[in-house]
Amino acid sequence: MPKYLYHGSYTLDGVRGVLTDGGSRRRDAARQAVESLGGTMDAFYFAFGADDVVVLVDVPDNVSAAALSLAIGATGAFRGTTTVLLTPEEFDAVVRVNLRGAYFASVEAAQRMFAAGRGGSIINVTSVAGIVPLERQGVYAATKAGLHQLTKVMALEWADRGVRVNAIAPGWVETDLVDELFASRHGERLRADIPMGRLATPDDVAGAAVWLASDAASYVTGSIVVIDGGRQLR
C-alpha cells in the first residue's frame, strides 16, 4: 500500500469519491491513495443507453445518496493504427468513449456536486498523447487533446460553484494496456524515449490525483498535470 507522507494539508477526511474504471492496477492505486488519507473511493462505470445518452451503472446506493466531492474519470478506448488505416467505425468508437463518455460523466458528477452544495474536485485522466504527437495514435491523441480543452472550459464554467476541474496527462504507465507492448520488440525503443528511463507506476498517477483532490490544491483549476518522466521534452 502506498504511503503518502505529505504535510497536513494533504488530507482527504470526509471526501467521498467515485472512479470510472481505469484498469485494475490504476483503480486500486487510486483507491488506496484516497483511503490512506481518510477518504473513501468507489468504482463505477458508464454505459450508453437509449439515444446514446451516457448512463452511470454499478453505482452503489450509498454513493448515489452521499454528497459526492471527488470524481476521477479514467475510462479510455484505444486503437493503435495509422491514420490512413483507421476505419470510420474505429474512429467513432474511440471518440464515443474518450470524449463523449468523459464529457457526460463529468457533467453527471458536477450535477451531483451542485445538488450537494459543497463543491468538489473532478479529475480527468488523459494522456501525454494529447500534447505530443505520437505515431499510430491519431484519434486517441485527438480525443485526449479535446478532453484537455473540455477540462479547461468546465473549470471556467464551474469555478463559481466551487467545483474544480483538472486533468492528469500520464505518459506510459505500468497497466494491463501497455504490458504486452513493452514486452514486444518495440519496448526497448519506447523506453529509450523516456528521459527518466522507466514507465510511470499507478502510484505515480495516484499521487498527483491525491494532490489535486486535496485542500493543498484548493486554488488549482483548469490545469493539465503531466506525468511522463520527461517524455514530452524529447
Domains and CATH numbers, the chain: 16-233 (3.40.50.720)
| Low-confidence winner among 76-80, 155-159, 186-190, 204-208 (lowest mean pLDDT) | 76-80
DSSP state of 165: E
Per 3-state DSSP, what percentage of the chain is helix, strand, and coil (rounded to 5)? 45, 20, 35
Any idea which residue has 471556467 for its cell?
Answer: 156
User: What Cα–Cα distance (Å) separates residue 164 from each residue in 114, 118, 135, 148, 218?
Assistant: 12, 12, 33, 14, 8
User: Are the C-beta atoms of residues 112 and 61 closer than 8 Å to each other?
Assistant: no
Among 51, 49, 50, 41, which Cα is nearest to 74's? 41
Is 6 in the active site? Answer: no
Confidence of residue 65 (pLDDT cuts 50, 70, 90): very low
**Mean residue pLDDT across the chain:** 77
C-alpha cell recorded at residue 157: 464554467
Rounded mean pLDDT, 185-212: 88
Q: Is the pLDDT of residue 149 over 60?
A: yes
The three-point CA angle 18-143-75 to 5° equals 25
CA distance 29 to 42: 12
Confidence band for 181, pLDDT divided at 50, 70 and 90 = confident
Question: Distance from first CA to last CA of the chain, Å, rounded?
Answer: 33
- Tell the residue number behind the cell numbers 493543498, with chain if given: 216
Contact yes or no for 47/55 (Cβ under 8 A): yes
Strand order in the sheet with 40-48: 54-57, 40-48, 16-20, 70-73, 120-125, 163-170, 224-227
Under the banding of pLDDT at 50, 70 and 90, the label for residue 207 is: confident
Q: Is the whole model's pTM more than 0.95, yes or no?
A: no
pLDDT band at 14 (very low <50, low <70, confident <90, very high): very low
Q: Catalytic residue, from 4, 10, 103, 140: name it.
A: 140
What is the per-residue pLDDT for 178?
A: 79
Percent of the chain with pLDDT over 90: 33
Rounded Cα–Cα distance for residues 230 and 171 (Å): 9
Give the pLDDT confidence of 84-107 residue by residue, as tens digits.
999 999 999 899 888 888 888 888
Say yes or no to pLDDT of 81 above 70.
Answer: yes
pLDDT of residue 44 exceeding 60, the answer is no
Q: For the residues 59-77, what does the mean pLDDT come to?
A: 61
The per-residue pLDDT for range 222-234, each reduced to its tens digit, is: 999 999 999 999 8
What is the reported pLDDT for 211? Answer: 87
Give me the pLDDT at residue 134, please: 86
